[in-house]
């Protein structure tokens, strides 16, 4: 019996350390995110030429709207070009795209990846650009987006992440996905910039100094999660990533459970892969060069997704409390103390998440959507057990808003 208790306590200590550190981490950056982060303002002295790169794989249902809308930016038309990278599009879609004043780069791969598409496009369009802006095939830029990106480069940044917001909140899953993205914006982008660290990249709505990006992308071999590998390489080399909270790009949120599960499965798999690849180097860089940005990003690769963190802490906290009550004759004080510890880090997590949700999303509809959190937790848990081989082949997230 003593051996069993010892093993249980050892497992609990490991779980408490892992989940407790994650809870403290998000609470710290969530609290930091409530303070203002002031981006240096000022009009650019030069108008940079921007390549708006839109890679798409079988995105026939949304790409025409995105391409047309991208042409409506209040930025000099001669100073930016929209480039659609068409992978496995229907012939009719490609013909319609070519009627627009944009560049269409058709690509075909045995195994499609965003990395291959972007590298092929940059080889095709040449080097007559100052900035590479990456959009997803469902992204819509708000007016002024390109000007704000241009201004940020005037301040000396090589990499800038825009603020990705929801295009749709048409069902509970899309609303939960919206909340999740805004929590990540608050913690991993704004909160990090407030304390002087780099913003996290998000895969789209991000801009790079063109020549620098083209050179850097040649080193990226990712099948999935290319932005994670790119970000780790940037931070390893001391590149600071800016965040523009007022530069808005609208992104389609997940509406179907199968798509949600596949997307999360791909993300979790990518994080685990990059943690294994970069963990030791992250520690070495931290010790030898005090590269906090790089070490912080490596640590993020093993942070549990927020919905998993909250769900696991809730289950363990309740379980610990129940165990305390039904075993009052056996080491009651020990288990009661355990319950209090779990309650504390559960509270840290709840406070962190509440601080991170924008006030505009505090509504009765959001409250109703939160009732579906247990289902979202189960989907995430199932994704966690299906990550094997998820990053050995391209997993496509289909787009198109349901009526």
3-class SS of residue 247 = strand
Q: Is 199's pLDDT higher than 60?
A: yes
Distance CA 19, CA 276 (A): 19
Contact between 87 and 55 (Cβ < 8 Å): yes
Query: pLDDT grade, residue 389 (50/70/90)?
Result: low
Distance CA 403, CA 398 (A): 15
In the chain, % of residues over pLDDT 90: 58
What would the DSSP string read from start to end of 287-336?
HHH--HHHHHHHHHTTSPPHHHHHHHHHHHHHHHHHHHHHTTTSSHHHHH
Q: ∠272-274-275 over CA atoms, to 5°?
A: 65
Distance CA 394, CA 113 (A): 6
Distance CA 173, CA 256 (A): 7
Contact between 140 and 82 (Cβ < 8 Å): no
3-class SS of residue 56 = strand
In the chain, % of residues over pLDDT 70: 90
What pTM, to 2 d.p., does this model score? 0.89
Query: pLDDT grade, residue 104 (50/70/90)?
Result: very high
Cα–Cα distance list, 321 to 22, 219, 255, 332, 336 (Å): 21, 51, 36, 10, 7
Residue 325 phi, psi (nearest 5):
-75, -45
Which domains does the chain possess?
2-34+302-384 (no CATH), 50-271 (3.90.550.10)
Please state which of the ranges 38-47, 79-88, 110-119, 363-372 shows the lowest mean pLDDT.
38-47
Contact between 134 and 53 (Cβ < 8 Å): yes
Q: Tell me the average pLDDT across 19-36.
A: 96
| H helices, E strands: number in the chain | 15, 8
Of residues 365 and 395, which shows the higher confidence score? Answer: 365
pLDDT digits (tens, 9 = 90+) for 330-372: 554 555 567 888 999 999 999 999 999 999 999 888 888 888 8
What's residue 329's pLDDT?
52
Cα dihedral 332, 337, 342, 347 sign? positive
In the predicted model, what is the mean pLDDT of the chain?
Answer: 87
What's residue 398's pLDDT?
56
Q: Tell me the average pLDDT across 214-233.
A: 85
């Amino acid at each position: 019996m003593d051996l069993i208790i010892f093993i249980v306590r050892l497992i609990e200590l490991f779980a408490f350390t892992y989940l407790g550190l994650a809870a403290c981490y998000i609470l710290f950056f969530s609290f930091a995110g409530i303070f203002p982060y002031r981006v240096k303002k000022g009009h650019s002295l030069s108008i940079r030429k921007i390549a708006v790169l839109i890679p798409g794989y079988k995105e026939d249902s949304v790409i025409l709207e995105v391409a047309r809308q991208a042409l409506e930016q209040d930025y000099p038309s001669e100073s930016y070009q929209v480039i659609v990278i068409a992978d496995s599009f229907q012939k009719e879609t490609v013909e319609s795209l070519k009627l627009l004043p944009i560049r269409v780069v058709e690509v075909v791969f045995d195994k499609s990846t965003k990395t291959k598409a972007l590298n092929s496009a940059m080889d095709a369009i040449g080097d007559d650009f100052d900035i590479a802006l990456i959009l997803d095939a469902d992204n819509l830029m708000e007016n002024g987006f390109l000007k704000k990106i241009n201004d940020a480069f005037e301040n000396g940044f090589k990499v800038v992440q825009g603020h990705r917001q929801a295009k749709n909140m048409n069902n509970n899953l899309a609303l939960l996905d919206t909340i999740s993205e805004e929590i990540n914006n608050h913690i991993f982008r704004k909160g990090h910039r407030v304390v002087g660290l780099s913003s996290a990249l998000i895969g789209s709505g991000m801009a790079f100094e063109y020549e620098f990006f083209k050179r850097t992308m040649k080193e990226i071999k990712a099948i999935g999660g290319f932005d994670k590998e790119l970000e780790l390489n940037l931070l390893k080399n001391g590149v600071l990533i800016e965040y523009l909270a007022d530069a808005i790009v609208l992104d389609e949120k997940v509406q179907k459970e199968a798509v949600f599960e596949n997307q999360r499965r791909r993300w979790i798999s990518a994080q685990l892969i990059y943690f294994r690849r970069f963990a030791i180097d992250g520690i070495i860089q931290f010790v030898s060069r005090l590269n906090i940005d790089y070490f912080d990003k490596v640590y993020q690769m093993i942070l549990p997704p927020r919905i998993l963190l909250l769900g696991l802490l809730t289950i363990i906290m309740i379980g610990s409390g129940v165990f305390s009550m039904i075993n009052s004759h056996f080491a009651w004080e020990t288990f009661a103390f355990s319950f209090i510890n779990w309650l504390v880090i559960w509270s840290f997590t709840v406070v962190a998440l509440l601080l991170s949700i924008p006030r505009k999303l505090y509504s009765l509809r959001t409250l109703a959507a939160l009732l579906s959190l247990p289902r979202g937790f189960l989907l995430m848990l199932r994704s966690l057990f299906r990550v094997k081989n998820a990053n050995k082949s391209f997993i496509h997230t289909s787009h198109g808003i349901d009526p």
